[in-house]
Every structure is written in structure tokens, then in C-alpha cells.
Amino acid sequence: MFSLSINDIHLAASATDKKSAIEQVALALENSGYVKSGYVQGMLNRELQAPTFLGNGIAIPHGTTDTRDQVLKTGFSVFQFPHGVEWGDGQTAYIVIGIAAQSNEHLELLRQLTHVISDENIAQAMVKANTPKALKQLLMGESQIQPLKFDDTMVTINAHADNINTLKIQNIINLQNAQIVSTDFITQVLTETPYYLGQGIWLSDSPVGNIQNGIALSVAKNTFHFQEHPVKALITISYANNQVESFLSKVSQLLQNQQISHILKNDNVNSLVSRFTNEQNTNSPSPSDSLIEPSQSGITQDFTIMNPHGLHTRPSTLLVSTIKKFESTITVSNLDGTAVPVNGRSLMKIVSLGAKCGHRLRIHAEGVDAQQAISTIGEAINSGLGEQIPWVEELQLSL
């Protein structure tokens, strides 16, 4: 197996374009003693012959045969570009692996990468890896991404509950038994108020303590009320990556079609699970989920996300709920991400923006209530979208 040192892994890099990314990778190879200074030209020339993008956000730039004499010893340099680098033909690279090979040693690397290229979840986890060790484990196949846990063991039906905390505890027990959440997750869920999705459905999650992807669902035997809203069921989500997006999209679809109450009456746990995980008709984007082309008219304003953990499920849900109050067509784009505008009424699309603390969201509204929409959405974002953010707390203390 090819050798990869922790020192050859570089996290949280940024590049304005492919050329800049390749030059960074080539310099790292040179500084590590793998190549001479002339190797970078071979890497750039190789890209002119054919792009080195493999798929799933991974590119492997390397030199031409003419510059093999610039290789001092075989080595690799791995760069993580969280914001992505345009690699041509509409492809975006998030992981760039520079190769310096004296002969055909890189073929072993390509064989090793097949498990990454074929598994979208591993590729996404590499982009989010926050330590060189974690990225190396994923790259080398030492760390596997577990599938989303949502089966009959994660569902409780006919729960004897007359308050939201009883449903919280039941969901926590199921998640904890599956060993996919930590004590930090439990503390957060127990202390935070769930978010009301509508039609008696509530959602709770935590920005910390998510070990693996999992969903717990508890359905009350009899409907009760919490904060003047009915409670029929509580969904608690643990998310290590975006595997939960399809589930959230399904829930959103069921709510929109007024089908969720009927499904919750199902006394067969396996049947209930299948109704939530059935992907039929969710892969073909509806008008409400489609990407929207930017318009030259309307009102546009930028806002900065100050939530310490970015737009995870809870604040994303509140943002979508705020947007749905208005008739205007509203799009949201992450200027520090792909900057592609998406429909603000789609929870899945908002979550997929991957907006972190400090990222700039561009809100565009077009319609009869566009100005009011921009103002209200801006206030919601600046106030933390249902979460306490440091500068708000400091302001409150100073008043």
C-alpha cells in the first residue's frame, strides 16, 4: 500500500482557480523533497492534455512523462479545499491529491481511491474532516462511514406521553442504544426546545455529539399540546454528514402533501419506516426544489451567519419557515460556498448550502412582499435563527 504521511495532508486550503490549487500542491511536493521546482509545469501541462478530475469532488493532478526527471522520490500531497475549486466541465474538486511518481506507483493510489470515488458519503466526510488523521483514515479505508440508522429499533409508536420531554427521552434512548450520539448530544437535546414543523410534527437535533447518522421517531398514542401547538410525533436527528437530507426532504414532501398524519396512524413499525424512507418521486426535483436562476429584478441583500455551528438542521428549518411566510420567490445562495442560488422553501436545499459560521448568505426576493421578506429574513438571521449567538448575548447584557 502506498505511504502517506500526516505531514503531507493540508486542511482548510483555499484557491481562486485550478491553476492556483495545482501550484499550491506542487509547492508542497517540492517542500517535502519529492520533486524539483520544474515539476509544477509538468502538472499544469498534464491538465491541458486532460483534466485529472476523478469524480465525487476528487482530483489527482500529476506531471507528464517529460517531467519525470523532476521527481526525486515518490510522494503525495493531499489538499482539502472546503469551498471547492472549479476543475473544468462544471466539476468541483474539494480534495486534491498531488502525485509525484518515479514510475507507476500511483496506480496503487488509484486502486485505493476506488472505494472513495464509489462512496459519496466518504468523499463528503473527507471534505468535512477536521484533522489530518481523520482525513487519512478515510482516504486509506481505515475509517468507514456507517449508513443512516433508521429502522424498527429507532421508532416508538403509541408512546404513552402527555409532554414533549417524554418523547425526547424515548428518542434519546433509541439513539443511545444504537451508540450514535454522545453525552453532549443528549444534554443539548434535553435542554433545547424542539422546533415545530407543522401538523403536529416536532423536530429536535444538536450541533454537537453527532457520532453517526441516525433518526429516532416517537409517535404519541394520544395527541397533546406544547406551546399552543399539537404534538403527534417527535423526530430527533443525529447527523454526521448529509445522509439525513433525503429523510428531511421526504418529511417536507409529506407535510406539503398533507400525508404525514395518515402515515403516523400506521401501527406497523416496519411499514411506517418504509413510508419515510421511500424515495419514490423524491429524486426528480419538483418546481419547489429546483435550482433557480438568478434574476436581475427584485431585492437582494447579504447577511452573515453568526451561529457558532452554522446552518445545521434547526436553524435551517427556521429559515425555511420564515421564508414560507411570504408570497415572493426567494432564493438563497452561500457566497462562501458554491454561490449557486437555491429555492429558499426547500429545507434540503438550504441544508445542502453547507453554510458555516462567518459564511455570507445572499437572499434574493422578487414579488409583492419582497421588501418585507428581506427585512424579516434578515432579522431572523441576525437574531440567530432560534439560537443564542455570542454578539446577541453581549448586546442583551449591555442593555
> Which among 219, 188, 213 has a CA at the least distance from the CA of 201?
219
Catalytic residue flag (residue 229) = no
Phi/psi class of residue 380: alpha, beta or left (left: φ > 0; alpha: ψ in -120 to 50)?
alpha
Phi first, then psi, for residue 33 (nearest 5°) are: 85, 20
Tell me the three cell numbers of residue 55. Answer: 469524480
36, 102 in Cβ contact below 8 A?
A: no
Q: Report in angstroms the alpha-carbon separations of 328 from 35, 297, 366, 370.
A: 56, 12, 5, 6
Please give the helix or strand (H or E) that residue 129 lies within, else none. Answer: none
Per annotation, catalytic residue among 83, 106, 312, 364: 312
Catalytic residue flag (residue 359) = no
Counting Cβ atoms within 10 Å, is residue 379 exposed (0-12), middle (13-18) or buried (19+)?
Answer: exposed
Give the pairing type, strands 299-304 and 360-366.
antiparallel
347, 314 in Cβ contact below 8 A?
A: no
How far is it, in rounded angstroms, from Cα 62 to Cα 99? Answer: 5
Tell me the three cell numbers of residue 225. Answer: 399540546
360, 399 in Cβ contact below 8 A?
A: no
How many residues are listed for the chain in this entry?
399
* Beta strands per DSSP E along 160-285: 195-198, 201-205, 214-226, 229-238
How far is it, in rounded angstroms, from Cα 284 to Cα 290? Answer: 9
Per annotation, catalytic residue among 10, 62, 359, 364: 62
1, 70 in Cβ contact below 8 A?
A: no
The SS3 assignment for 291 reads strand
How far is it, in rounded angstroms, from Cα 11 to Cα 78? Answer: 8
The SS3 assignment for 296 reads coil
The SS3 assignment for 39 reads helix
Q: State the catalytic residues.
A: 62, 312
